[in-house]
Structure 1
Amino acid sequence: MPVYHIVLFKLKPGVTEDQLSTWTKDAKALVGQIPGLSKLEINKPLPSTAHRGQGYDMALVSILEKADDVKVYAQHPAHLE
């Protein structure tokens, strides 16, 4: 059964769209590098629901193949970078 690892981010003031684009590209490149990581998505809240976001600016959803893969993902050098 897949495991959904969800992380919410509050960005520091001054983070640029170029920085977010680079981060998103680099994060998505982890798929195929980290065993068990089958998909990774990053995005901002929808404008229609952002008012309920409690100040979070971005969300990351990693889909892993099984629960044991979460530890592998968390400790993998590519993820730590």
Structure 2
Amino acid sequence: MPIYHIVLFKLKPGTTPEQLGEWETLARGMVGKIPGLVKYEANTPLPSTAHRSQGYNMGLIAILEKAGDVKVFAEHPAHLE
């Protein structure tokens, strides 16, 4: 059964689209490097629902093969980078 690891962020004021692009490129590059990481998605809230975001302006979902892969993901050098 897949595990959905969901994280919400409050980005620092002044974070640029270029910085987000660099971060997303690094993050997407983890798929295939980290054992058990099947898929990675990140995005900002939809304009139609942003008013309910409670200040969070970025979210990600990492889909992992099994529960034990969360620890592998968290400690892997590609994730720590």
TM interval, shorter chain, is over 0.9
Query: What residue ranges of structure 2 are gaps of 5+ in the alignment?
Result: none
Matched, 1:47 2:47: yes
Find the counterpart in structure 2 of residue 18 from structure 1. Answer: 18
Letter in 2 for 1:30: M
1:32-76 Cα offsets, whole Å, 9 max, x none, are 000000000000000000001000010010000000100000000
User: How much has 1:12 moved relative to structure 2?
Assistant: 0.5
Percent identity of equivalent pairs: 69
1:59 paired with 2:59, answer yes
Aligned-partner Cα distance in 2 for 1:55–1:8:
10
Report the aligned-residue RMSD.
0.4
1:27 aligns with 2:27: yes
Deviations 1:11-43 (A, max 9, x none): 101100000011111100100000000000000
Size of the aligned set, in residue pairs, is 81
Runs of 5+ consecutive residues of structure 1 not aligned to the other structure: none
